[in-house]
Structure 1
Amino acid sequence: MITSVKNERVKAWKKLHNRKERNNTKTFIIEGFHLLEEAWKSDWVIQEIIAEEAVELPNWCQDYEVERVSAPVFEQITQTQTPQGVAAVLEMKEATKRKGNYLLLIDSVQDPGNLGTMIRTADAAGMDGIVLGNGTVDIYNDKVLRSTQGSIFHIPIYHASLLDEVKDLQQNGFKIWATALLNAKKYNEIQIDGKVALILGNEGAGVRQELIDVADEIVTIPIYGKAESLNVSIAAGILMYYLKR
């Protein structure tokens, strides 16, 4: 059992809270029983499980390397306020092929909670995949992972230049919907005919103009009250469920 916070393994685990180190090692760290079980059920590669000395693990964990640590050590690697005493190091996995007829394209969303909620909602709505554009927060950020509630392990996600991706999608029969306020149609007045890729943009700036310019439809969600706007993850949920109705 590891009892020293100066142990090299502990230092390595702590470094995984840094995006640069995650990218260098192609690994990331998760916390909690729910995320761990969802990763296991979804056949993601679990390199090792880290557990406090007194924490009881599910039987299937016996198939993996388990490193026991003291409570003070676990406190050094946790990012949650009420840790459950279990974490794991996983290998990154990115989708390599695009499948299905309904995709969510995310343009420079920077809030971890928003991105995580969008991934979770896309999973719930039955979307076929998610494309992350440049400037979007890292999906392996701790807050993103927690906000997905395990959906990160269920839905294909990959990174791409969205402008290039849009052109490729259009050549493959997709209609591109971009969200904006100007020159936009109400989303529920547009007929869904075939494959659709939906673009949601940055919390403050929205979808970049170069993407709006090449979109097939510019869509908006009407606001009937006095709110100035909708949270981007809420807007994504409304539109994705409309597409999959």
Structure 2
Amino acid sequence: MLAKSVLTHINKLQQKKYRKQYEQFLVEGIKGVEDGLRSGQVEMVILEGSKRDESAYALLQKMAYKRQVEVQFCGRQDIGHIKTTQTFPGVLGICRMENAALDEVLGGTLICLDGIKDPGNLGTIIRTADWFGFQNILLSGDCVDPYNDKVVRSTMGSIFHVRICKSEDFVHDLKILKNEGYTLSSFVMDGQPFEKIRINKRQAFFFGSESHGVSEAVENLMDKRYTISGNGNAESLNVAISSAIVMHTLFTQSK
């Protein structure tokens, strides 16, 4: 059985204000905790006691002990208090946030997200960026918290593989990008065909919400505007899909 203080702390980390206060977040499931342990960000592992001898969970314990990470065991009576999903996957990690500063995400192609509210979309974009090797992501302040449990779950462990900077003043930071030689590009219905893009080292690509796109203040700073070509009747693309198309195009053209 978990100590009341640990239960209380886990419950607090399910709220954004406490995640920010403690600079910690939660990850559930074997893969997520394994990725977190490899990154060095897991500070405590909570394991369902009844699973401690199962091979996958035993290996996870060994991995944690090797990295000198504390492992605690929870009973069935604890699960309802700590799970973030309908069914508890047997293991949970308390992880240290690593919020990148703006200068830490500069140097190559930058994926920039403005006002993305849906946790599933943000998590999928992070996972896709990881797949195609785009390690630097800049978020506007009004994006959903990247350490929200639904976002973390949607990343399938990629939250530990990319650098995320959440801007406190997005427009100001974009002006810094321009001063650093970045070309800023957004996606609109009547822009240049994206497949004709010319790759350069310092590019920032902006994606906004499906309903509003990027904000007017952000759009006014763009150097280029592109369109993802299509041939159907759909009004628009899901932002996770459009960003995936862009990242795939950039990946294939850079090979």
Counterpart CA distance in 1 for 2:210 and 2:236 is 10
CA distance 1:48–1:84, change in 2 (3 Å): same
User: Which runs of no fewer than 5 residues in structure 2 stay unpaired?
Assistant: none
Letter in 1 for 2:110: L
Q: Name the structure 1 match of 2:25.
A: 28
Matched, 1:211 2:201: no
Match of 1:61 in 2: 64
**Aligned AA (2:73):** R
The amino acid that maps onto 2:83 is T
**CA-CA distance at 1:244 after TM superposition:** 2.4
**Aligned-residue CA RMSD in angstroms?**
1.5
**TM-score of the superposed pair, with normalisation by structure 1:** 0.92
**Aligned with residue 109 of structure 1, among 102, 108, 116:** 116
Aligned pair partner of 1:10 in 7, 11, 15: 7
**What is the CA–CA distance in structure 2 between the aligned matches of 1:28 and 1:105, rounded to whole Å?**
22
Partners of 1:84 and 1:94 in 2: CA distance: 27
* Alignment pair present for 1:243 and 2:247: no
Q: Which amino acid aligns with 1:27?
A: Q
Number of matched pairs: 240
Separation in 2 of the partners of 1:242 and 1:105? 16
Cα distance in 1, alignment partners of residues 127 and 197 from structure 2: 25
Shift of 1:98: 2.6
Does the aligned pair in 1 maintain the 2:108–2:203 contact within 8 Å? yes
Q: Give structure 1 stretches of 5+ with no counterpart.
A: none
**1:179 pairs with 2:155:** no
The 5-angstrom pairing of residues 114-125 of structure 1 reads: 114-125=121-132
Q: Give the distance between the partners of 1:209 and 1:219, measured in 2 at CA.
A: 16
Distance across 2 between alignment mates of 1:194 and 1:179: 19
Give the aligned partner of residue 87 of structure 1.
92
Residues 210 and 236 of structure 2 are in contact (CA less than 8 Å); yes or no, is this contact kept in structure 1?
no
Q: Which residue of 2 aligns with 1:76?
A: 81
- CA shift, 1:144, in A, is 0.2
Q: Deviations 1:26-76 (Å, cap 9, x if unpaired)? A: 1111111111000111222x2211111112332122222111111121222
* Residue 166 of structure 2: aligned partner: 159
**Aligned residues of 1:178 and 1:211 also touching (Cα < 8 A):** no
**8 Å contact kept, 1:180–1:207:** no
Check conservation: 1:51, 1:85, Cα contact below 8 A.
yes
Partner residue, 1:49? 45
- TM-score, reference length from structure 2: 0.89
Equivalent-residue separation in structure 2 for 1:156 and 1:76 (angstroms): 31
Tell me, yes or no, if structure 1 residue 197 matches structure 2 residue 194: no
Distance, in Å, in 2 between the alignment partners of 1:243 and 1:165 is: 23
- Provide runs of 4+ in structure 1 moved above 4 Å: none
**AA at the equivalent of 1:71:** R
The answer (yes or no) to whether the contact 2:45–2:94 under 8 Å persists in 1 is yes
In the alignment, structure 1 residue 231 sits paired with structure 2 residue 238:
yes
* Identity rate, percent: 33
